[in-house]
Amino acid sequence: MEIAPQEVDVLNKRVLVTGGSGFLGSHLCEQLLAQGSEVLCVDNFFTGRRQNITHLLENKSFELLRHDITFPLYVEVDEVYNLACPASPVHYQFDPVQTTKTSVMGAINMLGLAKRLKIKILQASTSEVYGDPEIHPQPESYRGNVNPIGPRACYDEGKRCAETLFFDYYRQHNVKIKVIRIFNTYGPRMHPNDGRVVSNFIVQALRNQNITIYGDGRQTRSFCYVDDLIHGMIAMMRSDDALTGPVNLGNPSEFTIRELAEKVIALTNSRSSIDYRPLPQDDPMQRKPIIDLAQQKLGWSPTIHLDEGLIKTIDYFESLLKTY
């Protein structure tokens, strides 16, 4: 995303990014700095990694604060991007109570900060609020099909409750809110052991291990490259205050899990074969966004094809695995 020189002064804000050392957060911090903002990166390093933001530490416009947003935070900033929360099943099911607390209490604390400072706040919600959808593809108007007592509920329902809080603060306290629902995103700086399908497949293929597919491989996902997602996120924050969302951000190109595995094997020249295992409880069979709202209101559409993004992600993991 190019930025005109005359816009830099407008964008020279002090921006808080919670979860800023995570996969998405680190890319967001990097892009905000490149566009002239000062960035306060807040993370408790439960899933975020310091190496994701090491290259930013010498930047005088970047500040790192270790903090858990389930506790209040008293800082002075101009905008808040609330990304803090473990986002992969392996991580969010490790401590499900803490996952729910991060989504709910974290939202309350960050909304309280935005209310006090009278600033804009963006919530990184998720396509998981749609659960295992009975409507395909998924528009923002769809209310979802979520099991509130299943093993994924700590994340799914935590994010749904966070959205509730955002809109209640908007209606009750006039807080300027932005809510996006992020669909499957991939790219460099994904955690190699996060259990997500792209990172799993690439790591297994590079090691010539069998690629694990849960279910028969016919379930579908749509994969958005991280650079596209970050551009959409920033566009949403900078949109007119009347656009609160929720707005779907994702790539509507749909692939089966088996197709993804075959692409990864081909792109890595791997000797891996495919190992089919039982599908976990409540794992969605279909996931594809309708992005008409993002296209119309933000002028945003993903531009990076899956093959191009996979090559960049494979290159990252090849370098990373050499250090393990």
Residues belonging to the active site: 155
Instruction: Say which residues have a Cβ less than 8 Å from residue 240's Cβ, sequence separation at least 6.
Output: none
SS3 for 309? Answer: helix
| Distance in angstroms (rounded) separating the CA atoms of residues 209 and 56 | 34
Type of residue numbered 112? G
The helix (run of H) or strand (run of E) holding residue 103 is: helix 96-117
For residue 248, list its beta bridge partners: 181
In whole angstroms, what separates CA 121 from the centre of its chain?
16
Q: To 5 degrees, how large is the angle CA 47–CA 48–CA 52?
A: 145
Q: Give 308: exposed, middle or buried? Use CB within 10 Å, 0-12, 13-18, 19+.
A: exposed
Q: Give 96: exposed, middle or buried? Use CB within 10 Å, 0-12, 13-18, 19+.
A: middle
The helix (run of H) or strand (run of E) holding residue 212 is: strand 211-214
Instruction: Say which residues have a Cβ less than 8 Å from residue 269's Cβ, sequence separation at least 6.
Output: none
| Distance in angstroms (rounded) separating the CA atoms of residues 186 and 181 | 15
SS3 for 261? Answer: helix
SS3 for 185? Answer: strand
| Distance in angstroms (rounded) separating the CA atoms of residues 98 and 93 | 9
The helix (run of H) or strand (run of E) holding residue 236 is: helix 226-237
